[in-house]
Amino acid sequence: MLLPWEYGVRNLFRRPIRSLLTLAALATVIMLVFLMVGFIRGLEQSLVISGDPDVVLVYSVNSEESLENSAIAARTPELLTSSLSGIVQRFGVTHISPEMYLAARVRTQDGHSGFGLVRGVKQTAPLVRRSVRLLEGQWPGPGEVMAGQLASTKLGTPVESLDIGRTIEMEGQAWRVSGTFAAGGSGYESELWCNLGDLQTAAKRQDLSLVAALLEPGASVAEIQLFCKQRNDLELRAIRETDYYASLQQYYRPVRMLAWVVVTLVAAAGVFAGMNMMYGAVSGRIRELAMLQAIGYRRRAILTSLVQEGVILAAAASLLAGAIALVFINGLAVRFTMGAFVLRVDGVAILIGCAVGLTIGVLGALPPALKALRQPVATALKAV
């Protein structure tokens, strides 16, 4: 039989200041956990969303995994279109998007500057990049760019610096912002898009970085890959876009591992905070715990009650942290090497945060409780 639940709850009010401080400490710890997990989840999510299973990317074999370093011949799209059958064609338009993709220093009108990701595209881009939606303004005309909704975060500049009508400077040229776009949370949202020709002129390049093509349902990437192998003079490689981002996930593994290590360390700090409180709470209650045993409560019941106490506090801290995380952390845009993404406090993040909270409660309460119950009842009854 267990002790009544109220016993655990009311015990927390015995030393209200101490409980409150511990609550604050635990809430902070759990917030940090939410932050880290939100970061990991956001990163993973942006990579997952960015891949379209029907899109194949064709880029240079020499570029490793980074598209900024890829350079392929400008005639690649025509070669692909004429040699392959699996690419979507509708109303005489081939759904293929030749693109130039580069990282460039961008200076905004108000004097801020940062590294931006710039993509030069043609009118066919939205046919292939199907998640892209214009939020405001227009598709970029000559000398214009449209900004992804996280582009300012990526640049580290104020949001207004990319408002429509503002000018920015990149690749030694001035550009006017023509519109803002969203892309369903994918990586494009941290980019600046302009016309391919303009970007080629500004960058003094004739080549492309990559070609993205939309495949017919059921069409296989293998055909394109075979083409790349046969025409090895072109030095091309083809990969399904989802596979490309999956390999990026691999690339970010150390980052994610590091984040998990931080989560663990932070959680351990929480355990110590909880333990500190519970040692204090239990040490003044040695006689009371002995009395409970004397009137017939088993040690396990008392142990459970003490753990309950820790868990109640930790659960309260989790709730508090969860509420704060949902309001302030969820959707927060952060800058990262390959772009910007938003922190996601989703179901998984909540689950992990609360699990960490409960673990802190249990692990923090166990050692003090076990210590208190190790004493023989007869001796403990005489304790002061």
Residues contributing to the site for another protein (CB under 8 A):
1, 3-4, 6-7, 10-11, 13-14, 287-288, 291-300, 376-378, 381
Which C-beta is closer to another protein: that of 7 or that of 336?
Answer: 7
Take residue 2 and report the two structure tokens written for it.
Answer: 């267990």
| Shortest distance (Å) from residue 382 CB to another protein | 8
Which C-beta is closer to another protein: that of 4 or that of 218?
Answer: 4
| Shortest distance (Å) from residue 300 CB to another protein | 7
Take residue 353 and report the two structure tokens written for it.
Answer: 């945060």
| Shortest distance (Å) from residue 14 CB to another protein | 6
| Shortest distance (Å) from residue 136 CB to another protein | 59
User: Cβ(307)–Cβ(274) under 8 Å?
Assistant: no
User: Cβ(300)–Cβ(373) under 8 Å?
Assistant: no
Which C-beta is closer to another protein: that of 15 or that of 122?
Answer: 15
| Shortest distance (Å) from residue 307 CB to another protein | 17
CA distance 149 to 147: 6
Angle (CA) 164-166-169 rounded to 5° is 130
| Shortest distance (Å) from residue 364 CB to another protein | 20
Count other C-beta atoms under 10 Å from residue 41's C-beta.
21
Take residue 135 and report the two structure tokens written for it.
Answer: 């939020």
Bridge partners (DSSP) listed for residue 93:
90
| Shortest distance (Å) from residue 313 CB to another protein | 15
Q: Outline where DSSP puts E strands in the chain.
A: 55-60, 89-90, 93-94, 96-108, 113-121, 133-137, 144-148, 167-170, 173-182, 191-195, 210-214, 236-240, 333-336, 339-342
CA distance 308 to 9: 8
Count of residues in the chain? 384
Cα dihedral sign, 255-258-263-266: negative
Q: What are the DSSP calls for 176-242, one per residue?
A: EEEEEEE-TTSGGGGEEEEEHHHHHHHHT--SBSEEEEEBPTT--HHHHHHHHHHTGGG-EEEEEHH
Which C-beta is closer to another protein: that of 29 or that of 292?
Answer: 292
Cα dihedral sign, 217-222-223-229: positive
The three-class DSSP label of residue 122 is coil
User: Regarding beta strands 113-121 and 339-342, do their DSSP bridges make them parallel or antiparallel, or are they unpaired?
Assistant: unpaired
Which C-beta is closer to another protein: that of 213 or that of 292?
Answer: 292
Which C-beta is closer to another protein: that of 294 or that of 323?
Answer: 294
Which C-beta is closer to another protein: that of 91 or that of 384?
Answer: 384
| Shortest distance (Å) from residue 6 CB to another protein | 7
Which C-beta is closer to another protein: that of 235 or that of 288?
Answer: 288
Q: Which residue bears the tokens 């905004």?
A: 108
Closest CA to 373 of 277, 312, 307, 274: 307
Which C-beta is closer to another protein: that of 3 or that of 182?
Answer: 3
Which C-beta is closer to another protein: that of 53 or that of 284?
Answer: 284
| Shortest distance (Å) from residue 318 CB to another protein | 23
| Shortest distance (Å) from residue 267 CB to another protein | 29
Take residue 188 and report the two structure tokens written for it.
Answer: 């494009």
